[in-house]
Chain A
Amino acid sequence: MFPDSHSSLCLFSFLLQLSNIPYVTHRLPVLSVCSHPLFFLFSLTLHWDPDPSTLQLHSDSELMGRGAVRLGMSKLTQVDFLPKEMVSYSKETQTPTDALSQSDQKAGRQALFLSFFLLNSGLFTAVYTPKELTEEEKLQVLHSEEFLTFFERGSRIVERVLAEQVDVCFDYSGRDLEDKEGDLQAGAKLVLNRRFEDERWTKNRVVTCLDWSPQYPELLVASYNNNEDAPHEPDGVALVWNLKYKKPTPEYIFHCQSEVMSAGFAKFHPNLVVGGTYSGQIVLWDNRSNKRTPVQRTPLSAAAHTHPVYCVNVVGSQNAHNLISISTDGKMCSWSLDMLSQPQDSLELVFKQSKAVAVTSMAFPLGDVNNFVVGSEDGSVYTACRHGSKAGITEVFEGHHGPVTGLSCHSAVGPVDFSHLFISSSFDWTVKLWSTRSTRPLYSFEDSCDYVYDAMWSPTHPALFACVDLSGRLDVWNLNNDTEVPTASVGVDGGAALNRVRWSHTGREIAIGDSEGHVHIYDVGEVR
């Protein structure tokens, strides 16, 4: 049935009115009516104009294709910069009265503890079952002071005993020595006694200095420069070797951060070893401390040395002594061994007010603490004095054509005073003999065919001196015998360049350091 026109017209007008009313179009659906006159054919098309946020959510999940976002903990990132280790040395000067009472108390306490423990462990069975220590307790024991002291001493003693190889079948009548070796030994003048080297500490290093201990004639300190093949090992090493026992390892191992160019036992302090380094620092090692690093160091400042220190020496007497050090820029500092934080005295060694002396070697004549001689890189030897109005360089001795490498003042004591004599070795292949009384050399020993690296007078025999050169030769000259050629000469095995020579204080042994880190000890026989 067709709807009658009146009702359709009403509907149409009502709808028109509806569309005219202003309302929020987003909230309510807007109906649009198809304007076809045939109302039964009109259709309603609904267009949703929804909230944009809801639309977004819908499309998001459609696009990304994931539901809830899964979160997890990431790995922990850590950054660590470790603090620098500061080595400190403290010295106590407490008088011993307090310490006595403390040790008494300690002994009393220990006795009490022991008795208590014994009581507890059972009256009938005195069996002590060892208690298993925890890891922490073990570490604590290993790091305690007492254990470290005991271990250092104990391990040294055990090493000596293990290396002992004594021949119990030796026949003193000499019947067994029928081979030539015996004959040669009887008449030989220079015989190799020992060779010291260490796989870890001396390989690839050059021996820079040697010194015998004044207190224990069997101890020898040798200093070494850096090992280029091992950049992580310390640059400067000083080892104390022991001649008395057959153990092949060093008695004490000391090291520091910069190459050690000179070293020596401190003369009136038997426990201290002094070293002068490439950086200009003077370091002090103490064999009472269980540390291998220096216990005291001079500061790296302009007040001290800033150039390599090639000469260190303790001069003076028991009560009044100083450590003298000279660096290659001509600065001479004197230090007190108790306080290395600043020099007691410093002096610039300049020649003729302007030319600084590049010092490579230094020597004090016997018994003299004021006057000394220095050798420099320009080939001249200078005498100088430490105190007084003429402090500084006094005279120049010219004669060498190359840098002076070693100096030695005559030190043998005897009826005639030869303390004004000194010898110098140089790159010009010669060793020259001088007197402090004259600026021209007294004599020139020209037997060597290579750089002469060091020379030293014998401390006991007034006419003997030894020198070493780059070709691996050790020459011992006897001036009573012959001044043209050395009286005894031996080539060191291996042919390495020899850097240093030092007579022992008894005058019966010579220690030689070479460029491969070996220290050779030669026994000196009858050198007449």
Chain B
Amino acid sequence: MEEYNSGDDVLFNTDENSALVKECIEGVIGGADYDHSKVNQWTAGIVENSLTHLVKQGRAFKFIVNCAIMQKSGAGLHTANSCYWDTTTDGSCTVRWENRTMYCVVSVFAVAL
């Protein structure tokens, strides 16, 4: 059996961070409808907000946060990502969120320092 690292500080916890990011999204675009004039503020807000919360956890990670907001217009959207890193310590999570008028996809990558 490989070395079992029980310390949360070293591993990237996908579920906890997904929940954190989801809250950040809800906070920024929670009840709003797609608005072209505001969407820039929203993406910036989501990224900054998520990043602040992730850093506040105090873990030794480098974070990369990516946010995409797409208006619901009947078109399809497909994205994919993969990484080459140390699978024991590094991790990523992707959060999908949607409401009646738009889709939001946030990807967080955490690379151990």
Asked if A and B are interacting partners, one says yes
Interface size in chain B (residues, C-beta < 8 A): 23
B105 lies within 8 A of A74 (CB): no
B70, B74, B82, B107: the one contacting A74 at CB < 8 Å is: B82
B83, B86, B103: the one contacting A70 at CB < 8 Å is: B86
Least CB distance, A19 to chain B, in whole angstroms:
44
- Is B75's CB within 8 Å of the partner chain A? yes
A76 lies within 8 A of B80 (CB): yes
Map CB proximity to B onto A61-97 as digits: 1 under 8 Å, 0 otherwise.
0000000011111111111111110100000000000
Least CB distance, A56 to chain B, in whole angstroms:
15
Alpha-carbon distance A75/B79, docked complex (angstroms): 14
Q: DSSP class of A's interface residues: helix, strand, loop or mixed?
A: loop
Alpha-carbon distance A83/B96, docked complex (angstroms): 16
Alpha-carbon distance A69/B83, docked complex (angstroms): 15
Find chain B residues with CB under 8 A from A81 CB: 70, 76-78, 103
B107 lies within 8 A of A77 (CB): yes
A74 lies within 8 A of B83 (CB): yes
Find chain A residues with CB under 8 A from B49 CB: none
Find chain B residues with CB under 8 A from A71 CB: 84-86
B74, B75, B78, B84: the one contacting A73 at CB < 8 Å is: B84
Residue on A nearest B80 in the bound complex, by CB: A78
B84 lies within 8 A of A84 (CB): no
Map CB proximity to A onto B92-113 as digits: 1 under 8 Å, 0 otherwise.
1010100000010101000000
B76, B92, B105: the one contacting A82 at CB < 8 Å is: B76
B74 lies within 8 A of A84 (CB): yes
Residue on B nearest A74 in the bound complex, by CB: B83
- Is B87's CB within 8 Å of the partner chain A? yes
B78 lies within 8 A of A79 (CB): yes
A86 lies within 8 A of B82 (CB): no
- Is B81's CB within 8 Å of the partner chain A? yes
A77 lies within 8 A of B77 (CB): no
B81 lies within 8 A of A77 (CB): yes
A69, A70, A72, A86: the one contacting B74 at CB < 8 Å is: A86
Given known A83-B75, A83-B76, A86-B74, contact A77–B86 (CB-CB < 8 A): no
Given contacts A73-B82, A83-B74, A86-B74, 8 further A-B contacts (CB under 8 A): A70-B86, A71-B85, A73-B84, A77-B81, A77-B94, A77-B107, A78-B80, A79-B77
Give 17 pairs: A residue, B residue, CB < 8 Å, sorted on A. A69-B86, A71-B84, A71-B86, A72-B86, A73-B83, A73-B87, A76-B82, A77-B107, A79-B79, A79-B96, A79-B105, A80-B77, A81-B77, A81-B78, A81-B103, A83-B75, A84-B74
